[in-house]
Amino acid sequence: MSYSHPPPDLIRVRLDISYDGGAFKGFAENVGVTTVAGLLRAKLEKVYSQPITLTCAGRTDAGVHARQQVVTFGVRGKKVEPIRLRNSLNALLAPSVVTSKVSIVETQFDARYAAMWRQYRYLVLNSEIPDPLLAPTTWWVDKPLHLESMQEACEALIGLHDFTSFCKRPKDIPNATLVRRLLQAEWTVEPELNGRHELLRFEVAGSAFCHQMVRSLVGTLVDVGRGRFTATQVGQILAAKDRSLSSNVAPPHALSLWNIGYPGDETPVWLPQRTT
């Protein structure tokens, strides 16, 4: 919650957290199921004995992890001790949800609206045989993928586009814009594991993302690697603004919200010098 005129006793708190999405039905609260926000809010209300409203930098779907998620909330009439709160939350919630840092911020700071960009990471295990230790955080694809074609297909995605072909349109806002700006989209190969695995890493960053956008992009790009689409066809699918033309969404368990950028943060090497 943000205030046009914050109460004088309001303290605005920022949490930097990470979590194993496999244990939750997404970040946002939902009646009858366990979510990150529901669990976190309940613990904060226990600590401060008052209603708490959370705002996050980016909602994650069921099964999706977060290496860095930023959450803000306000506390009234209470003393906030960052290290003590961090330790209390970790004692109550770790290892499923881990708080790495607690900060007191300006009363108008909002985790969602202050964020300049979000970066996601998706892992694909491209191997003839699966790996039980990597299974919780990778999508196993047994057929060889053509990485060069997958990377070439990413070129059409960079910049400001209407991503209707790769987004699930919100039911409550049928006319919502699906125009988004991508700042990064690239595939890299992780070092071999046990001499027999090839772990592919997809990193994508943008000012914002629509529902299921990253997983839809991954599903389509992997189909490029399989030879079902050419790299050129990805640009054509994007331009068509037709969700039926893209591939099925990739599984959620291999996706992580990886990093979030705010004013004053160090500029990542992949970020273009000019994004307008």
Q: Measured between alpha carbons, how far is residue 240 from residues 22, 167, 244 in Å?
A: 34, 13, 10
Rounded to 10 degrees, the C-alpha dihedral 170/275/65/17 comes to: -110
Contact 2, 45 (CB under 8 A): no
Number of C-alpha atoms within 13 angstroms, CB side, residue 60? 37
Cα angle: 43, vertex 47, 48; to 5 degrees: 120
Round to whole Å and give the CA distance between 17 and 41: 13
Owner of token pair 């039926």: 244
Q: Is 9 a catalytic residue?
A: no
**Selected catalytic residue, list 16, 61, 142, 265:** 61
CA distances from 110 to 132, 200, 235 (A): 39, 34, 35
Q: What would the two tokens of residue 201 be?
A: 């890493």
Catalytic residue ranges: 61
